[in-house]
Each structure stands twice: as structure tokens, then as C-alpha cells.
Chain A
């Protein structure tokens, strides 16, 4: 420790001294470029973790939820538009995105400690995980759904009468949000006892 301290002191001295060899301009430019590289790298890393391939690189995600989504309309439909995991689970806003990524460290934790590493454990924990997602979507007024489906542009005359009736009654008034009625749109549901509306 005693030997490190003077060493650090010397370096600090160097760092504090104004530059003699490089002009301020070059330094600023260098900093700028480094910034871009750093920022870009950060964003690239962020983008890479924003793909379905990344999500299902964990068997916990692939063997349970991914298998189930394959049967649903969000995996295959006549128009060929697909919703992938991040479309529904990762916010598009940058700050929200970072917040979700911080939250995702829980998943890394879960991976390491194997909280859902078998089908049985997953099924046991499913209600809890689903509740988190319901709460999140309820809180942001189903933002992820609305990124693709916008109430403003829904043509009720083209919807089935049943859908139009439910939507016009509750969406216009802001009484309910998508997730209130469309639980289990992409995956099988956990034990629904006590869930409002079930």
C-alpha cells in the first residue's frame, strides 16, 4: 500500500498538468471520437441484447415461453408481421430501456442460481413472473402493445362486433388497458385463480 500511494500521486500529478504536446483542439477531437466509439459500442451491445436470438440463448426462455409463442398469432399470421420478445418486453424509449436492462440483471442472477432452470421450477414460479409483467404493462398503459396496435387507428367497423363492443366501451374512456383483457396473448397462462376478470 505504501508503495502504491506515491505511484498514484505521481500519475495524478501528470494528469492534472496541462498538456504541453497536444493542442486543446486535438484533445477535444480525440475525446469526441472516443466518445462516439464508446457510445456506439454501448449502443451496439444494447442492440445485440435486444434480439430474440439473445433472449432464447437461455434455455429457460427458449424451452418455455418461446415454444409457446410459436402457436400464436404473434409468431405467424397472414401479413407476416412478427412480434419478437423485445417488442413486447423491452421498452423503445432509451431511458426506459436502460431501466429494463438494469432490472434484467435479476435474470442473470436467476440464471446463475437456477431459479427456473427446470420446467417444474418454471411452472411454479410462472404466476409470480407473469404478475411482474402484468404490473409493468398496467403501469405503462400497455405501451409495448400500443407501439404496434394504436387505439386511435383501430377501425371498429372492421373488427368483429364483440371486439368493437369491448374496445369502444373501455378503451375510449381509459377504463381498461390492453393487458386487462388480453392476458396470455403470447404465452400459456399460469394458475389464474384470483386474477381479476378470470
Chain B
């Protein structure tokens, strides 16, 4: 029996090779993000852009949104040794640096306890807050904020 095992294997493999793959192996990337590109083709990557660094706080789309970072954060160290963000955004530092203090939610642990300092689950700021780059978005977005929705609702009611 054991000696016969390779046979069916060979058969199956043989068929697999003989049969044309039902799809081209070099298909264009399906996500539309690499237009014209195929999986095996390599493009020269677009040039790296600097982080937007205008220091203007951006509008939040909804109140719970972590605000995006309006300044450069290149090489800011966040690890067990220190947290560069807190050097400006902590409660103690915010007067000196005039940076907005981390809000009270950052002091709450997962049981809702308010701690004396930033909660461990909020230590790695860049998990939620990200800098922005001045580039064309890869995918469109038709998000409407609550004011736009309410406005439409009220105006359409008036129309009736």
C-alpha cells in the first residue's frame, strides 16, 4: 500500500500542472490601489512625503474621534524609557508647553477607574493618534458628519 501512495499523488499533481490555471497568475492587483500593476511587477514607490506640520488642530468628524496629530513626530521616542508625547501633553507639562492636555479618558483604566497618571492602555499614543501627509487619498470617502445629516433631515422635512 505504502509503495502505491506516490502514484495517485503523481496523478493529481500532473493534472494540476497540465490544466491551465483558471485565472492569470499575473493578475492586476484587485484592490485598485496599484492601477495597472500586477502582483509580480514592482513599481518605484512614490516619494516619501513629510508629515504635515502646520500646527493647526483639525476638525474631528465625531466627538469620540482621536484627533489627528497636527505636528511632526519623526523619531519621537515612546518606549519603556520615556514618552516624548507626554513630555508636552501630560498634565504637568501642558502649561509649560501650551500643548492640549490629554483628556480625562486617558487616565481611565479598563475598569473605569481613574488613575493618577496616564493609563497603561493609553501609553502608546500612536495607536490612536496619527500624523497626516499631504497626499491624494487612495480611496474616496463620503463620510458626512452629524451636522450635515441633521441639516439634510431638517431641510427635507421642510420640503414635504
Q: Which of B81-121 contact A (CB under 8 A)?
A: 81-82, 84, 87, 93, 97-98
Smallest distance from the beta carbon of B99 to chain A beta carbons, Å? 9
Are B75 and A192 in contact (CB-based, < 8 A)? Answer: no
Given contacts A161-B54, A165-B98, contact A191 B82 (CB under 8 A): yes
Please give me the residue from chain B that is nearest to A78 by CB atom.
Answer: B50
Are A192 and B98 in contact (CB-based, < 8 A)? Answer: no
Are B53 and A71 in contact (CB-based, < 8 A)? Answer: no
Number of A positions contacting B (CB below 8 A) = 18
Residues of A within 8 A of B74 (CB): 73
Smallest distance from the beta carbon of A187 to chain B beta carbons, Å? 10
Please give me the residue from chain A that is nearest to B80 by CB atom.
Answer: A191
Given contacts A160-B55, A161-B55, A198-B87, contact A188 B77 (CB under 8 A): yes
Question: Any chain A CB within 8 A of the CB of B72?
Answer: yes
- In the assembled complex, the Cα of A71 lies from the Cα of B76 at a distance in Å of 12
Please give me the residue from chain A that is nearest to B55 by CB atom.
Answer: A161
Which has the most chain A C-beta neighbours within 10 Å: B74, B81, B87? Answer: B81
Are B82 and A162 in contact (CB-based, < 8 A)? Answer: no
Cβ-defined partner of B81 (8 Å) among A73, A161, A191, A197: A191
Q: Contact residues of A with B, CB < 8 Å?
A: 71-73, 160-162, 165-166, 184, 188-193, 195, 197-198
Listed from nearest, the 6 A-B pairs whose CB atoms lie closest are: A192-B82, A161-B55, A160-B53, A191-B81, A162-B55, A198-B87
